[in-house]
Structure 1
Amino acid sequence: MAQSLGRLFTLLSFRKTHLSRQCVQVLSGTTLKRTLMMRAVPILSPKPRDFSLPNPSWGEEMMRLYNYYSSQSEVETEGEEEQGSQWTRLPSYNRSLKYAIGGVYLSKIIQSKARLFTRNIKHPGAGFEYVVFFTKDKQRCVCIFQAGHLLEGPPGHVHGGAIATIIDTVTGTHASLLCAPVVTANLNINYRSPIPLGSTVLIESTLDEQEGKKTFISCKITSTDGSKLHTEATALFVSVSVSHLLRG
């Protein structure tokens, strides 16, 4: 037994030493090798980009509302209660496999450039421009949404499928805050009035009920001043296990 352990220790020591020598050889190799290694670093550990931050395509109303909700998220002075933290902005990064074991590293290697469906149009302002805020108790979410020209359905207005997509995104995000991971089980939408392309609207998501693995959420899309109701929806989300997500 002792001899077997000794051989195993010797083998591991050899592999460790051999690997160290290989690393030294690469690091002290040609300029080409060093250049290739430097270019590989951003791929293995890309800096995530937050897609919910302002960009030049945001209109005046989008920026006004963003600043308003951001101001409601400001933290008071140290040692005092967070009187102004009614809302918290939710960052929007590239998709990650964060629920899997070692998922953060898998995401960096395999999905370093993968985006959520609503973030896959690279040209700013052409598709879904939005930012989500949620309350401290996570009972409510609000999304500021600006629709780009690629979302056109009826002439000059947003496609109904694009509206369903952003509703599913916002309510699904809300449900995930409460009991991630979840999948959409039911989405019921009533379209009341069309949304003009390029306009900014508010999407409000409210928790109705939680029953075991089920989360019921209601949602409405209105003009920014609340005077016009564009869309109403209800959604049901079901909590699932990590293995369920990995099986697909």
Structure 2
Amino acid sequence: MARSLGRIFRGFQSLGSLAFMKSELSNPPASVSLKSMVQTLPSVFSSNPRDFSLPNPSWGTEMRQLYEHYNSQCEAVTDGGEEQSGLWKRLPSYNRSLKYAAGGVYLSKIIQAKARLFTRNIRDPGAAFEYVIFANKKEQRCVCIFQAGHLLEGPPGNVHGGAIATMIDTVTGTHACVHSGPVMTANLNINYRSPIPLGSTVLIESSLDKKEGRKTFISCKVTSADGARLHTEATALFVSISVGQLMKG
């Protein structure tokens, strides 16, 4: 009985902490920085959440080979603590609504405990969206290795067009964030060329076309893993938004 009461008390403490943090984020004191507030978030917003862009047993041979290809060209820290330069950088991915902002700071809104990032809301590995994104800031490119699970079916045996659009929006939006900070999709124009078989691995490559003020223009193509077959082409427009707008939701 005493143990149960202790758990209930700790639960009320957690709820109190959430209410306090929401109040602080809505009306932060002038002397408190956004970074310090994020660092004091309770454990529900862990600073070390599971990274879903790392290999898991559901990944097929093509997915693993492509991952190793790009990961071998990434920035790294040697055993001696020295930084090793690389053309690419792997971008982590989580199951919450976390935003990867310029400067390497993860920002999170105070949201419901059940909220999940759409592409990470199915827990079974390999069942839906399995992907990892690499960014090449120097060449202004991003590449995503995407393996389509059996729950993404549209036409029999092939990936649903909406699932393809979701991944294009995810990759181009992530790319825009790398160059412009927080953004929202303003326009997405997609041309479907050939179906993507369920269970297959494809490459989603995006390129920065131009920036005009708050606008970021991105082009994108989806190809087979070997690049021989074009599945989809797209263009996207993103508009920069402020951190304040993100926090308000």
Shorter chain as denominator, the TM-score bin is 0.7 to 0.9
Q: What CA distance in whole angstroms lies between the structure 2 residues aligned with 1:106 and 1:81?
A: 32
Matches within 5 A, 1:57-96: 57-75=58-76, 82-83=84-85, 85-93=86-94, 94-96=96-98
Q: Which residue of 1 aligns with 2:186?
A: 185
Q: Which residue of 1 aligns with 2:234?
A: 233
Q: Which residue of 1 aligns with 2:4?
A: 32
Matches within 5 A, 1:24-173: 30-36=2-8, 44-46=42-44, 47=46, 48-75=49-76, 82-83=84-85, 85-93=86-94, 94-96=96-98, 107=110, 110-137=111-138, 139-173=140-174
Distance of aligned partners of 1:136 and 1:180 in 2 relative to their CA distance in 1, 3 Å threshold: closer
Distance of aligned partners of 1:241 and 1:136 in 2 relative to their CA distance in 1, 3 Å threshold: closer
Match of 2:165, SS? Answer: helix
Match of 1:187, SS? Answer: strand
Q: How well do the aligned residues superpose, as a CA RMSD in angstroms?
A: 2.8
1:216-247 CA-partner distances (Å, limit 9, x unpaired): 10000011111111111010111122344455
Q: What CA distance in whole angstroms lies between the structure 2 residues aligned with 1:82 and 1:97?
A: 26
1:78-111 CA-partner distances (Å, limit 9, x unpaired): 698745x111110012223788xxx96754xx44
Q: What CA distance in whole angstroms lies between the structure 1 residues aligned with 2:124 and 2:60?
A: 15
TM-score by length of 1: 0.76
Contact map agreement 1:97 1:106 (CA 8 A) in 2: no
1:102-148 CA-partner distances (Å, limit 9, x unpaired): x96754xx445532111111211111110000014371100000001
Q: Match of 2:155, as an amino acid?
A: P
* Structure number with bigger Rg: 1
Q: Which residue of 2 aligns with 1:5?
A: none
Distance of aligned partners of 1:106 and 1:187 in 2 relative to their CA distance in 1, 3 Å threshold: closer
Distance of aligned partners of 1:129 and 1:30 in 2 relative to their CA distance in 1, 3 Å threshold: same
Q: What CA distance in whole angstroms lies between the structure 2 residues aligned with 1:130 and 1:98?
A: 16
Shift of 1:176: 1.0
Shift of 1:179: 1.2
Distance of aligned partners of 1:98 and 1:208 in 2 relative to their CA distance in 1, 3 Å threshold: closer
Higher helix share: 1
Shift of 1:72: 0.9
Q: What CA distance in whole angstroms lies between the structure 1 residues aligned with 2:108 and 2:220?
A: 35
Number of residue pairs matched?
213
Match of 2:127, SS? Answer: coil
Contact map agreement 1:138 1:177 (CA 8 A) in 2: no
* Farther-moved stretch of structure 1 (113-122 vs 199-208): 113-122
1:172-204 CA-partner distances (Å, limit 9, x unpaired): 011011112111111111111110000000000
Q: What CA distance in whole angstroms lies between the structure 1 residues aligned with 2:114 and 2:215?
A: 32
Q: Match of 1:50, as an amino acid?
A: D
Identity of paired residues, percent?
A: 66
Q: What CA distance in whole angstroms lies between the structure 2 residues aligned with 1:50 and 1:111?
A: 20
